[in-house]
Amino acid sequence: MRILLIENSLSLRNVLKNILLKERFDVQIAEDAESGLELALTNNHDLIILDIMMPERSGYEVLRGLRRNRIQIPIIILTELSQENNKNKGQDIGAYNYLPKPFTASELTDLARTLIKRKKKADAENILKFENVCLNLSAHILYNENKEKSVKLTKKEYDVIRYFFERPRQVAETELVLRKVWGYDENDNLSSPNFEIYVSFLRRKLKSIDASFTINPVRGIGYQLGPNKKDLQQNSL
């Protein structure tokens, strides 16, 4: 269970880190809002623990950045602000829970486990799978089920790969994908450079997580999920 802790106070950061490590959580640390947002956008976490009162950028700005980028992840807000309007503000932006200081170690770890368990249950109900790769429909993440490797998808990458995962044994006809994903109609010029570009992006991302398959071209028709033909040729030599 991987947690991102965004806390500017060195003393509190060390205390929280030790508490979480003692309870066998994997902890990644950010000392300010800017680095915390960057880590959240480029890594895969089960939970974020976020302090609101930080210099330069507040925790609220981090929340907005996460939501703008469609990062659907449980968040615990830590703050000394006890007013109800601050609590409501965080929840309106998208925070899952609000934990006012001071709090006990057990309050924090129990809440963390509850939120992570809830998220994993929801994720399990929102997954498409093909061979050794899973597509998380809520977080827009591809991950290898056998290794700790994952990769985030852009909106269009997600739309394209979801089309394939929903029809894993079928050939994805270029014309149908352009209509479904790009919204083309019969009167549009159904050229495919955009589709081909995103297929190329997705091939690289599948390779980065050691997928057992790739997206192969089917001449004159479109593309299909299947074994990497280059790997098959090399293995046959």
Beta strand residue intervals within 104-220, DSSP E: 127-130, 133-136, 141-144, 149-152, 172-173, 214-218
Q: Which fold has domain 2-124?
A: Rossmann fold (3.40.50)
Query: Other C-beta atoms within 10 Å of 47: how many?
Result: 24
Structure confidence at residue 188 (pLDDT): 57
pLDDT in tens, 153-167: 999 999 999 999 999
Distance CA 133, CA 67 (A): 25
Q: Is the peptide bond before 102 cis (omega within 30 degrees of 0)?
A: yes
- State how beta strands 127-130 and 133-136 pair: antiparallel
Structure confidence at residue 55 (pLDDT): 78
Report the percentage of the chain scoring pLDDT > 90.
49
Low-confidence ranges of the chain (pLDDT < 50): 83-84, 95, 232, 235-237
Q: Which residues 6+ apart lie within 8 Å of 208 measured at CB? A: 149, 151
Domain boundaries defined on the chain: 2-124, 127-236
Q: What are phi and psi of 25, to 5 degrees?
A: -85, 145
Find out if CATH 3.40.50.150 is the number for domain 127-236.
no
Same-fold call for 2-124 versus 127-236: no
